[in-house]
Amino acid sequence: QVQLVESGGGSVQTGASLRLSCALSGGFVGTYAMGWFRQAPGKGREFVAAADWNGRNTGYADSIKGRFTTSRDNAKNTVYLQMNSLKPEDTAVYYCAADLWGTGEMTMSPYDYWGQGTQVTVSS
């Protein structure tokens, strides 16, 4: 059974950086498209970033483009979301998700496995 565990969230000030990690167990991250989504208080879950199963193609939401970068380390079976120049509107619970042999879709439905989420809070 595939499990995803996020870490790296925290409380920071505007302009700071954080790196989220998502460790995959029960499978090999190099065969999964990995997506990042977030959910702010009182709002629906929204797409942030994704990479296809081999990590060669990535996509980003317009709101974070140029500030966030997703990457992976196959040897550690882990994917990352590097978040720079954080803004208060980035405050949310961040989730990683996995889709076997996927293409890195921006919608939630293709992803079969989800982590428990990690809280990111950005204060002004």
pLDDT, residue 78, reads 98
pLDDT, residue 103, reads 95
Written as six digits, the tokens of 73 are 């380390």
pLDDT, residue 44, reads 97
Identity of the residue numbered 21: S
Cβ–Cβ under 8 Å, residues 115 and 5: yes
pLDDT, residue 109, reads 96
Q: Which segments in the chain show pLDDT lower than 50? A: none
pLDDT, residue 58, reads 97
Written as six digits, the tokens of 70 are 């997703």
- 51, 87, 91, 120 from 14: Cα distances, Å: 27, 5, 10, 12
pLDDT, residue 70, reads 98
Q: What is the mean pLDDT of the chain?
A: 97
